[in-house]
Amino acid sequence: MNQITQEMRNLAKQLLEEEKVQLVMGWEKGSFWYNSTPVFVSKVEDVDKLIWDEFCAANLATYLLDDRFSDEKIALFVKGCDSRAVNRLVQDKQVKRENLYLIGIPCPGMKSAKAAKELGQETKEELPLEDKCIYCTHHNPLVYDILLGEEVALDDIAATAEVSRFEGVEEIEAMTPDERYAYWQDHYSRCIRCYACRNVCPACNCTECCFDLGQTWLERDVTPTGNQVYGIIRAFHVAGRCIECGECERVCPMDIPIMKLNRKIAKDIEELYGPYEAGLDTETPPPLGHYKTEDPDEFM
């Protein structure tokens, strides 16, 4: 067992015993060696389920939305991306910071479960990172009450050191409108509209979602065009609030490159309104959520 796992369990035990929190959200080992999955511990005898390994990719902050207005005290393990999600939810007043006990864990980047499944256990040491971790710019948690382990230096993480936040976006920017249409059409034609991308997303925090209200925004018939409209509406709805955690793309059962779209929009926002990354703190107003006189207005 690794040191962090041990520390996680000790801390969880202490928090529950001292009744500082009623619930600890973390990860446990899943069905196979290559998956680790969310676990919810509310009893001291269950703390040994908690683990920390190279497959703890799931962003736990999303689950805060389940009881968003409750006053339960919750402890939550946060990697870099998870901590940004917490900031976003706090900033949007979905959860109260004082109800959370955040346990930060610096993250060296998670290993790709998909690759692991295909390549087999023998390759465990050489597995590629999850895509979301390749483009990650904040491996260290940005907000926490206590930190387990040592902060990691970005430069130490080979994949990230070489890859920029917007890597691959130029590819779609270079396409002609027709090519771009064909590109998205190809991908979205296999979307099954399961809404996993929406349901896992910490920026999709509306209590009533526009896709649930029946036919008013978008009919439920699954067509390549309808699916693209779905993708575009969702991308716009999270624009400027998307914390680039890549969960949507990771959970998509149809392997649709959703992050290409999200990162393209993030890039546009930087170009239009200046440097911005969502969820770095709870104060900076999101560029699309407020108005400045010097905002670009060439579309007016």
52: its two tokens: 């920390």
- Other CB atoms within a 10 A radius of the CB of residue 59 amount to 26
Please, which of residues 60-99 interact with other proteins by CB under 8 A? 62-63, 66
Could you tell which of other proteins, ligand SF4, none binds residue 120, using a CB distance below 5 to 8 A set by kind? Answer: none
CA–CA gap between residue 265 and residue 259 (Å, rounded): 10
CA 113 remoteness from chain centre: 16
Could you tell which of ligand SF4, other proteins, none binds residue 219, using a CB distance below 5 to 8 A set by kind? Answer: other proteins
58 binds other proteins (CB under 8 A): yes
CA–CA gap between residue 290 and residue 207 (Å, rounded): 22
- For the bound state, the minimum distance from the C-beta of residue 44 to other proteins, rounded and expressed in Å, comes to 16
Could you tell which of other proteins, ligand SF4, none binds residue 262, using a CB distance below 5 to 8 A set by kind? Answer: ligand SF4
- For the bound state, the minimum distance from the C-beta of residue 136 to ligand SF4, rounded and expressed in Å, comes to 11
- Residue 63 is which amino acid? Y
* Residue 100 parent element (H or E): strand 100-104
Sheet holding 23-29, edge to edge: 36-41, 23-29, 74-78, 100-104, 146-147
- For the bound state, the minimum distance from the C-beta of residue 272 to other proteins, rounded and expressed in Å, comes to 32
- For the bound state, the minimum distance from the C-beta of residue 104 to ligand SF4, rounded and expressed in Å, comes to 19
Residues that bind ligand SF4 (CB under 6 A): 191-197, 200-203, 238, 242-248, 252-254, 256, 258, 262
Could you tell which of ligand SF4, other proteins, none binds residue 203, using a CB distance below 5 to 8 A set by kind? Answer: ligand SF4
SS3 content of the chain, % helix, strand, coil (to 5): 45, 10, 50
Find tokens 């914390």 and name the residue. Answer: 243
CA–CA gap between residue 227 and residue 100 (Å, rounded): 36
Q: Which part of the chain contacts other proteins (CB under 8 A), choosing from 135-143, 209-217, 273-281, 283-291?
A: 209-217
196: its two tokens: 């996993």
255 binds other proteins (CB under 8 A): yes
CA–CA gap between residue 75 and residue 25 (Å, rounded): 6
288 binds other proteins (CB under 8 A): no
Contact residues for 299 (Cβ-Cβ < 8 A; gap 6+): none
Give the total residue count for the chain. 300
- For the bound state, the minimum distance from the C-beta of residue 219 to ligand SF4, rounded and expressed in Å, comes to 15
- For the bound state, the minimum distance from the C-beta of residue 131 to ligand SF4, rounded and expressed in Å, comes to 11
Decide whether 54 or 82 has the Cβ nearer to ligand SF4: 82
35 binds other proteins (CB under 8 A): yes
With CB under 8 A, what is the number of residues at the site for other proteins? 38
Binding residues (CB under 8 A) for other proteins: these are: 30-32, 35, 37-40, 58, 62-63, 66, 117, 186-187, 189-190, 192-196, 198-200, 212, 214-215, 219-223, 250-251, 253-255
